[in-house]
Chains A and B, each alone.
Chain A
Amino acid sequence: MVPNRQLLNELKSGLARVNVSSSDPEYRQLGDEELMRRLQYRDKRAFEAIFDRYGDLVYSTALRVLRDAHLAQDISQEIFARLWRKPVSYVAERGRFLTWLISVTRNRAVDEVRSRGRRQRHETASPEEQQRELPAGNANDPALNAQLAEEAGAIRAALAGLPGEQREVIDLAYFGGLTQQEISQRLDQPLGTVKTRIRLGMQKLRAALAPEMRPE
């Protein structure tokens, strides 16, 4: 189902749509910062709304790094438990809530990989493979997170536009949790080459995503 124009306009105005769930409809209309502000007052409805909004993304990010569904669930639970326990960890002045949440999730998942001494080979999916893996759509809420879906489409297109070697080092760094030195050793490439590829790749991503990265 194609979202109608009115819905799209509402979404673009900053209201993030969430999964169909049991979270309060009124809370689904609130922005991330307002939900976090209410979370500081131990508002469980705000917490539910945040989970329903980003639970899948947190889980998917953890799963991408860990490649283990059970571990991904554990880490996801830990992330949200920490959010509930210490909502003051997120400070709005320091940036977008989603950026913070994803960063915390990714970092925790990478820490888990490192603590278990695992060095998984992260195979960068080719554009064709990524196309096959795209979800068919959420039958419960076809307009699910349309705003995030737009951003997802933009980053996928931006990544597809990168030279393979730049995409590879960025993937190894972000999802593989490798340092530049480790990537250099893994790929048997000079450290300077790895650094340059990361910098150029991120430069291109930044330029491609510039229209999407509106101030929050």
Chain B
Amino acid sequence: MDCEQIRELLDAYALGAADAREAAAIEEHVADCVRCWSSLEEAQRVAASLALSTVLQKAPQSLRSRVLAEAERRQQPALPSFPGRLRWLWPAATGALAAGAVAAATFALVLQAEVNDLRDDRDRLASDTQNAGAVLEEQRQLMAVLAAPDARQINLQPADPGSEALAVYYWSSSTRTGALLSSNLPPLSQGRVYQVWLLTGDEVYDVGSFESWNGVGQLSMDMQGVSGRPVGIGVSIEDAEGAEEPREMFLFAEFPR
């Protein structure tokens, strides 16, 4: 459909009266047409104004109580507990982080290989070696982002003003890669991870998760799958298998417009 045909349908769509076929055509069209999107937004404002013609009824006080109680219940963060034993730590990268672009980074990352007695730790050593390799690869990706000529950064703030958690997000538009460095993170209980989200105008993208050690954590990200201009980045605490959408942001930053 062309713009003229679409605009004939926008009022019905804004009122929720368009059929499925028309609605699909409109949604597909306005995704790429700023003028029609603007017309739709105006129609939706008119439609929403209709609600103001409604006789305003005072909501029962019990509704307020219920709404605020539910928010209170959902406010509680996951109960953290210090992990009993940590198998691998982060590589030392202080020297590399002295590069000018990351002079503001204050995190110290430490790698230690853990070796137990031979009989019990043969498999564990193999697993640790694999993990260490993965960590080193992560560091390489991190360095690539930091070293990009168009690398930029933004500080994330904790949702709880009393929290001392810090995070910095670095990204390179040219390479479409990003990296999150964090410190002063509270320890997580078993089976919990920090999950990172990138928000665009239309979507919330899961860009990965990480665990922390000694309050320090990091994640490098490939942003090739992210469509649209990011408007924000956040970190939430989720189950290890990951969540489809964030329950609540633990750390957050909104990109400048």
A residues in contact (CB < 8 Å) with B: 21, 37, 40-42, 44, 47-48, 51-52, 55-61, 63-64, 69, 73, 76-77, 80-81, 84-86, 88, 91, 93-96, 98-99, 102-103, 105-107, 110, 130, 133-135, 138, 148, 151-152, 154-156, 159, 170, 173-175, 177-181, 183, 195, 198-199, 202-203, 205-206, 209, 212-213
Contacts and interface: CB of A to CB of B under 8 A. Distances in A.
A178 B45 CA distance: 19
Interface in B194-230: 199, 201-202, 204
Most A C-beta atoms less than 10 A away, residue of B44, B45, B52, B64: B52
30 contacts: A40-B232, A40-B254, A41-B252, A42-B75, A42-B159, A42-B160, A44-B75, A64-B51, A69-B60, A81-B67, A81-B70, A85-B74, A88-B204, A93-B201, A103-B47, A106-B51, A130-B53, A134-B55, A152-B53, A170-B50, A173-B12, A174-B15, A174-B17, A177-B16, A179-B18, A180-B18, A198-B15, A202-B15, A206-B43, A213-B46
Contact of A56 (B59, B157, B204): B59
B41 A178 contact: no
Interface of B: 8, 11-12, 14-19, 41-60, 62-64, 66-68, 70-72, 74-75, 157-160, 199, 201-202, 204, 231-232, 234, 245-249, 252, 254, 257
A56 B57 contact: yes
Contacts of A69: 60
A37 B211 CA distance: 27
Most A C-beta atoms less than 10 A away, residue of B67, B201, B248: B67
Contact of B59 (A59, A94, A107, A134): A59
A174 B44 contact: no
Given A41-B157, A135-B55, 19 more contacts: A41-B159, A44-B75, A55-B63, A60-B54, A60-B55, A60-B59, A77-B67, A88-B232, A88-B246, A95-B44, A99-B41, A103-B48, A134-B55, A155-B53, A159-B50, A170-B15, A195-B12, A198-B17, A203-B11
A160 to B, nearest CB: 9
B50 A174 contact: yes
Contact of A198 (B12, B49, B68, B246): B12
The 7 closest A-B pairs by CB, nearest first: A173-B17, A59-B59, A202-B11, A173-B15, A102-B48, A152-B52, A99-B48
B215 to A, nearest CB: 20
Most A C-beta atoms less than 10 A away, residue of B51, B57, B231: B51
Given A110-B16, A202-B46, A205-B46, A59 B8 contact: no
Contacts of B74: 81, 84-85
A91 B255 CA distance: 13
A179 B45 contact: no
Nearest to A216: B45
Contacts of B60: 69, 73
Nearest to A59: B59
B231 A151 contact: no
A176 B41 CA distance: 21
B51 A57 contact: yes
A103 B47 CA distance: 8
B201 A107 contact: no
Contacts of A73: 59-60, 62-63, 66
Nearest to B58: A56
